[in-house]
Amino acid sequence: MKLKKLNVQLLKLPSDIEFVLFLIKEELKSNRLLNSLTKIGFDDSHHRSDFSTMILATLGFEERTDELYEFYFRLLDDYCKKIEADNKKIVKAAFNLYVDLTIEKRKRLTKN
C-alpha cells in the first residue's frame, strides 16, 4: 500500500502550532479571496479579516513593531499569490509561512 493513498496524519503537532497554522491558513484563504475581489473592482477594505496580531503573539513575538507587521503582510501577500483552491497547497503555504515567521523570530532574538 502506498503512503500517499492513506488519509492519515503521520505527524501530530502540538496544539499551539496547530492553532497558529489554522489561523494562518484561514488568513491566507481570506486574503486570497479579497485580493481577487479587489482586482476586479470590489472594495474590500471594510471586510478584510486580520489575524496578524493573534498570529504574531501566538508565535511569541514580544515586540510587534510596524516593521514586523510590514514583514508579515509582505509574506502573506507573497504566499497568497501561490495558493490555489487545493487544501493541500493551502496547508503547505500556511506551514511555509509559519516556518518563515519562526526563522524571523529567531533572527530577532539573536539580535538582542
Look at residue 83 in the predicted model and tell me its pLDDT.
Answer: 87
Task: At 62, give phi and psi (nearest 5°).
Answer: -70, -50
DSSP state of 62: S
Mean pLDDT, rounded, of the chain: 85
Look at residue 2 in the predicted model and tell me its pLDDT.
Answer: 54
Q: Is 17 helix (H, G, I), strand (E, B) or coil?
A: helix
41: phi > 0 → left, psi -120 to 50 → alpha, else beta; which?
A: left
In the chain, what are the domain boundaries? 14-111
Question: Could you identify the residue written with the cell 503555504?
Answer: 93
pLDDT digits (tens, 9 = 90+) for 54-107: 999 999 998 899 999 999 999 999 999 988 888 889 999 999 999 999 999 999
Spatial CB neighbours of 83, under 8 Å, sequence gap ≥ 6: 28, 29, 32, 89, 90, 93
Q: Is 61 helix (H, G, I), strand (E, B) or coil?
A: coil
Q: Is 86 helix (H, G, I), strand (E, B) or coil?
A: coil
Amino acid at 100: D
